[in-house]
Amino acid sequence: MAENRKQRAIPISTKTTQPFWDGIEAGKLMLQYDPDENVYQFYPRAGSVKTGRRNLVWREASGVGTIYSFTETYVPIAGFEERTPYLLAMVELEEGVRILANLINVSAPTISVGMPVKLAFETITDEQDYFCFEPA
């Protein structure tokens, strides 16, 4: 009997998140920037987390950061069954935001907090890439 495997969830864009996903499609990590407070924010929101104002602008992130924390995940979720165990990292980007993402091209014993990482991409369907990080 064939196994029934669920596909990995495909992100759905909204008016607020569309510039982020357009960036991913172009091979860029886009962040919202609050010009009044001179800070970046992630995840995409309709307004500034500092002021509530809706004058955010989109800027390309450097894609460079360090591991703030990480975990090796053994419990599979839909679409990740064949990848278990897989690595997740909270990455602190040069821009000052923290972003949770898969960590690829590395094994758990070699990871450490503070380790430099850089932006990478994984193809999840013929039409959709997703961001992740790998050792710098």
Alpha carbon dihedral 92, 76, 130, 113, in 10-degree steps, equals 20
What are the residues facing 81 on neighbouring strands?
A: none
- Pair of tokens at residue 116: 């430099």
Can you give the pLDDT at residue 64?
98
Per-residue burial over 39-62, b if 16 or more Cβ lie within 10 Å, else e, is: bbbbebeeebeeeeeeebeeeebe
What is the Cα–Cα distance from 97 to 119, expressed in whole angstroms?
Answer: 14
Domain regions of the chain by residue span: 15-61, 62-136
Can you give the pLDDT at residue 4?
55
Can you give the pLDDT at residue 1?
41
Mind listing the pLDDT tens digit of every residue in the chain (136 residues)? 445 556 777 778 899 999 999 999 999 999 999 999 999 999 999 999 999 999 999 999 999 999 999 999 998 877 777 888 999 999 999 999 999 999 999 999 999 999 999 999 998 888 888 999 999 9
Domain range 62-136, CATH architecture: Beta Barrel (2.40)
Q: H or E segment at 18?
A: helix 18-25
